[in-house]
Amino acid sequence: MVEMPKRRDILAIVLIVLPWTLLITVWHQSAITPLLTIRKACHHLVKEIFIIPERLAARRHRLADDGAEGRHETGQGSDSKEYCSSDKDIVEVVRTEYVYTRPPPWSDVLPTIHVVTPTYSRPVQKAELTRLANTFLHVPNLHWILVEDAQRRTPLVSRLLRETGLNYTHLNVETPRNYKLRGDARDPRIPRGTMQRNLALRWLRETFSPNSTQPGIVYFADDDNTYSLELFEEMRSTRKVSVWPVAFVGGLRYESPKVNAAGKVYGWKTVFDPHRPFAIDMAGFAVNLRLILYKPQAYFKLRGVKGGYQESSLLRELVTLNDLEPKAANCTKILVWHTRTEKPVLVNEGKKGFTDPNVEI
Amino acid sequence: MRLRFKLKTVFILYFTVSLLGLIYALMHLGKLHSLQGHTKKEPTKPHLPTIYVITPTYARLVQKAELTRLSQTFLHVPQLHWIVVEDSSQRTDLVSHFLEHSGLVFTHLHIPTPQDRKLQEGDPNWLKPRGVEQRNEGLRWLRENIWAGETAEGVVYFADDDNTYSLQLFEEMRWTQRVSVWPVGLVGGMRYEGPVVEQGRVVRFHTGWRPSRPFPLDMAGFATSLRLVLRNPEARFDGNSPMGFVESSFLQGLVTMEELEPKAEMCTKVLVWHTRTEKPKMKREEALQAQGLGSDSKVEV
């Protein structure tokens, strides 16, 4: 007789408490789902990244007040990254707040990505650099090395760089003009951007010592391509040279390194001269800064380079095929597109120019 | 006995109520986690007015790249709601997955352009106006889904997927009362095209082509307040209007030139550029595909 009521009581208590515990758990979970995916080992790194300034904290409060609506709004502009220096793998965490801090706060543990961009004056230059900056403003620890093909650093670029708030270095070197040709043509024997990229390499070698502890990655990003944010996180773990597919090059949907079952690059999936030492586009590889510093003689060859062999001229001084690290899910995902911007038709400007030249475009 | 009976009823009642409450809460949460991004009712925003960006898009090689870099710009803009309208009879996987992972607040719509209005292979791109049905569909969605209350605060902007937008532009347009305007770079065959402002008012338009149009503006050169859009349900883009008059067909009923609000430092700064992306050369790809050796179509480009 005593047993029965006891069991019943327990059952009753359980059934009473159950719905409330479920409710509380579910609410709790949905509120902290963004943080749940962070692995414990990387907790100390998370603190580095989630430094949220006051106004953001205030915004967070407002979202919490909105309750249900707030949930929907955190979907906006979400992108937070998390890094474990222990195993070099990047874990992508969804949801962020710091998108409104441009650029993200600098971290002492993340390898810096030095992005080398050669650029030259033409009508679309400011537009290209603007949207490139909008991309880079999402990437933590990015250092933009912008090298102008010009005799002097132009005010347009100087102002643009300053206003973005990015960490940058502004260089310039002019590709010698071939005065023998009619007009203001540059020396056609030197592929475009070569001198500028080489200047950046030289600057890096002069600025950083091989013994420096801050790790870095060097990436050559032309100003008209399109880069996904995921790409930068893939390249951050480069030990020597990492490679990945690039869309819209070589007359194909994409060109890609060939990766075998062991995860090693053994060839190139291209139609245009696949027997080049490195049949890859400039946007398809990144080099560890240490490697650049250890091999101070490695530069892009200036003259006598056959079309498509520019990248090989640098890479063959740095690595062998065997050392290449395939990224982007073993080179099966497209994370960068070799887009090209049309030259705008300015017919209505006429000879003297119709628009106010003081208005910067 | 009687006491126990009462307790039992109370308990059953309590259990049922709790269960119902729990189910309701779960459903409510489930709705929030829905990735469709549809907003049935836009709650009153006491802070920043929302910028509703309507982007028509269509499948082609560079689509994913264009949307990617566009989203990278939009991610910096607070209170932005992206309305992507595909020129398609159904939502494509590419755009659906892309939007889900973009991190933006979005609405994914689709409407196909009728065949006779579509550009054929080899047609110059100015022959037929593009994106008309898609923009109208975006307007329709806004009118049906956004609560037109007194506090309907927002602005509607038509952003094509290949243009380039500076972040400052969005802050310029955010407080539009009726229709605000600004210059657009690299359009109309000129370095830039835009309104001419004298004493704080738009007096005429600086354009190289047909300046007699009611509103010789580019699609990217103006933004309309949400209130105006909702209060004028007949205002839409006319696909049959002559070349260059599409923008006018929308703005004509909504506002007069005197009412236009000039932005971008009295229309002296260019904050948006009408860039166009080249069609990538696919000669080798086509040659390979003819041999049956085309690149892996499973790899999304």
List of chain B residues with pLDDT < 70: 1-5, 29-46, 125-126, 148-152
Residue A91's pLDDT is what?
Answer: 35
Lowest mean pLDDT among A105-109, A127-131, A140-144, A314-318: A105-109
CB contact under 8 A, A75 and B103: yes
- Look at residue B1 in the predicted model and tell me its pLDDT: 53
Please check the confidence at residue A182 and state whether its pLDDT lies above 70: no
**How far is A140 from B4, CA to CA, in rounded Å?**
65
The answer to whether residue A322 scores a pLDDT higher than 50 is yes
Task: List, for residues B30-51, the tens digit of each pLDDT value.
Answer: 665 554 444 444 444 457 899 9
Instruction: Name the pairing type of β-strands B50-57 and B80-86.
Output: parallel
Q: pLDDT confidence of A179, banded at 50, 70, 90?
A: low
Mean pLDDT in residue range A15-23: 77
Q: Is B37 on the interface with A (CB under 8 A)?
A: yes
Are A361 and B47 within 8 A, CB to CB? Answer: no
Among A residues 204-233, those touching chain B with beta carbons less than 8 Å apart = 226-229
Q: B167: which 2 tokens? A: 């972040």
Question: Which member of A311, A317, A349, A360 is catalytic?
Answer: A311
Confidence class for position A40, pLDDT limits 50, 70, 90: very low
- Per-residue pLDDT, A71: 32
B277 contacts chain A (CB < 8 A): yes
| Minimum Cα–Cα distance from B193: chain A residue | A355
Per-residue pLDDT at A54 exceeds 90: no
Joined together, the tokens standing for residue A86 give: 């222990």
What pLDDT is recorded for position A188? 66
Residue A38: pLDDT band with limits 50, 70, 90:
very low
Task: Reply yes or no on whether the pLDDT at A103 is more than 70.
Answer: yes
Could you report the per-residue pLDDT of A272-318, keeping only the tens digit for each? 899 999 999 999 999 999 999 999 999 999 988 888 999 999 999 99
pLDDT for the residue numbered A307: 86
Q: What is the pLDDT of residues A187-216, one digit of tens each?
A: 667 888 999 999 999 999 999 988 877 899
Q: Which residue in A138, A269, A339 is closest to B65 by CB distance?
A: A339
Interface mutation vs chain B, best among A253, A332, A349, A351, most B CBs within 10 Å: A253
Average pLDDT over residues A99-113: 84
SS (H, E, C) chain A: CCHHHHHHHHHHHHHHHHHHHHHHHHHHHHHHHHHHCCCHHHHHHHHHHCCCCHHHHHHHHHHHHHCHHHHHHCCCCCCEEEECCCCCCEEEECCCCHHHCCCCCCCCCCCEEEEEEEECCCCCHHHHHHHHHHHHCCCCCEEEEEEECCCCCCHHHHHHHHHHCCEEEEEECCCCECCCCCCCCECCCCCCCHHHHHHHHHHHHHHCCCCCCCCEEEEECCCCCEECHHHHHHHCCCCCEEECCEECCCCCCEEEEEECCCCCEEEEECCCCCCCCCCCCHHHEEEEHHHHHHCCCCCCCCCCCCCCCHHHHHHCCCCCHHHEEECHHHHCCCCEECCCECCCCCHHHCCCCCCCCCCCC
Mean pLDDT of A65-69: 34
pLDDT in tens, B47-64: 789 999 999 999 999 999
Residue of A nearest to B66 (CA): A226
Q: Which of A269-273, A333-337, B194-198 has the lowest mean pLDDT?
A: A269-273
pLDDT at B46: 53
**pLDDT of A64 over the 80 cut:** no
Point out the least confidently predicted range of A20-24, A275-279, A326-330, B243-247: A20-24
A360 pLDDT tier (thresholds 50, 70, 90): confident
Indicate left, alpha or beta for B150 from its phi (over 0: left) and psi (-120 to 50: alpha). alpha
**Nearest residue in A to B60, CA atom:** A253
**Which chain A residue has the Cα nearest residue B82?**
A76
Q: Is the pLDDT of residue A36 over 70?
A: no
How large is the greatest C-alpha to C-alpha distance in chain B, in angstroms?
A: 95
Mutate to test the interface with A, among B29, B164, B268, B272 (most CBs of A within 10 A): B164
- Put simply, the answer to whether B269 touches A359 (Cβ < 8 Å) is yes
Inspect the interface and report whether the beta carbons of B75 and A138 lie closer than 8 Å.
yes
Q: What percent of chain A has pLDDT over 70?
A: 75
